[in-house]
């Protein structure tokens, strides 16, 4: 299958328009099951080293479970403040998750194989990187559907596993909040707040 220049430009537009969505931007509008399945299908069509497909997705709708996850986030968030004391005003103003606001949460896991995997004998983390590719696919598919995703990393994986009753040999890679949004910002929030400066392409590429 060949894609024309219009389709190529659309893909780049989707990539550029992807945003990490905070809790203050999600709406309560429910997501149609078809769209959730499209997002998950995009995930399972990600590249995986050795065609290992080492992912597992736990879709969370139960409010009680979401509240337990949120409680863990709150504890970890308070602990994280000590690392940003010099930027506490900005840090405290950030809404870093949408666990309770988003109608759907998805925990994305990596399951290590009990056999040797092609392409993973030298670089042991390639299976986990494959799961990250799945998350990126999901993020872009969601954006194409005008649905937002926020990746919550301020969580204790072992606590999340316990709450979700997931076996210990599954490693949490990403915890995603998924839902319709009030708006997609033109510029990433952290860039607008000057938390970090956007790197220019010429500064991150070298030719040899």
Q: Which pLDDT score, from 0 to 100, does residue 185 have?
A: 96
**112 in helix, strand or coil?**
coil
How far is the C-alpha of 51 from the C-alpha of 49, rounded, in Å?
5
Per-residue tokens: 149: 């995703």
Distances (CA, A) of 110 to 31, 49, 118: 25, 13, 16
Q: Which pLDDT score, from 0 to 100, does residue 61 have?
A: 97
Q: Which pLDDT score, from 0 to 100, does residue 197 have?
A: 94
Inter-residue contact 134 to 106 (CB < 8 Å):
no
Q: What residues in the chain have per-residue pLDDT under 70? A: none
How far is the C-alpha of 98 from the C-alpha of 25, rounded, in Å?
8
pLDDT tens readout for residues 10-40:
999 999 999 999 999 999 999 999 999 999 9
Inter-residue contact 69 to 158 (CB < 8 Å):
no
How far is the C-alpha of 127 from the C-alpha of 114, rounded, in Å?
12
Per-residue tokens: 66: 């979401």
Per-residue tokens: 88: 């506490």
Placement of tokens 């956007």 in the chain: 198
**What's CA 114's distance to the chain center, in Å?**
26
Q: Which pLDDT score, from 0 to 100, does residue 119 have?
A: 94
Q: Which pLDDT score, from 0 to 100, does residue 133 have?
A: 98
Distances (CA, A) of 35 to 26, 75, 113: 16, 32, 30
Q: Which pLDDT score, from 0 to 100, does residue 82 have?
A: 94
Inter-residue contact 188 to 146 (CB < 8 Å):
no
Q: Which pLDDT score, from 0 to 100, does residue 53 have?
A: 97
Pick the CATH number of 19-197 from 2.40.280.10, 3.40.50.2000, 2.40.50.180, 3.40.109.10: 3.40.109.10
Q: Which pLDDT score, from 0 to 100, does residue 31 have?
A: 97
């Amino acid at each position: 299958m060949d894609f024309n220049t219009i389709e190529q430009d659309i893909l780049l537009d989707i990539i550029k328009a992807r945003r990490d969505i905070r809790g203050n931007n999600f709406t309560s509008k429910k997501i149609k099951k078809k769209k959730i399945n499209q997002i998950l299908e995009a995930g399972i069509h990600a590249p995986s080293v050795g065609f290992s497909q080492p992912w597992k997705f736990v879709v969370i709708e139960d409010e009680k479970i979401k509240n337990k996850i949120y409680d863990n986030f709150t504890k970890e968030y308070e602990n994280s403040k000590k690392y940003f004391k010099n930027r506490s005003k900005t840090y405290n103003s950030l809404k870093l998750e949408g666990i309770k606001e988003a109608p759907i949460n998805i925990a994305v896991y990596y399951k290590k194989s009990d056999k040797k995997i092609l392409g993973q004998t030298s670089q042991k983390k390639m299976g986990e990187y494959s799961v990250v590719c799945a998350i990126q696919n999901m993020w872009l598919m969601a954006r194409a559907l005008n649905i937002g995703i926020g990746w919550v990393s301020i969580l204790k994986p072992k606590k999340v596993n316990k709450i979700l009753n997931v076996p210990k040999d599954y490693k949490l890679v990403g915890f995603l909040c998924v839902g319709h949004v009030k708006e997609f910002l033109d510029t990433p929030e952290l860039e607008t707040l000057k938390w970090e400066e956007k790197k220019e392409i010429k500064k991150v590429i070298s030719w040899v």
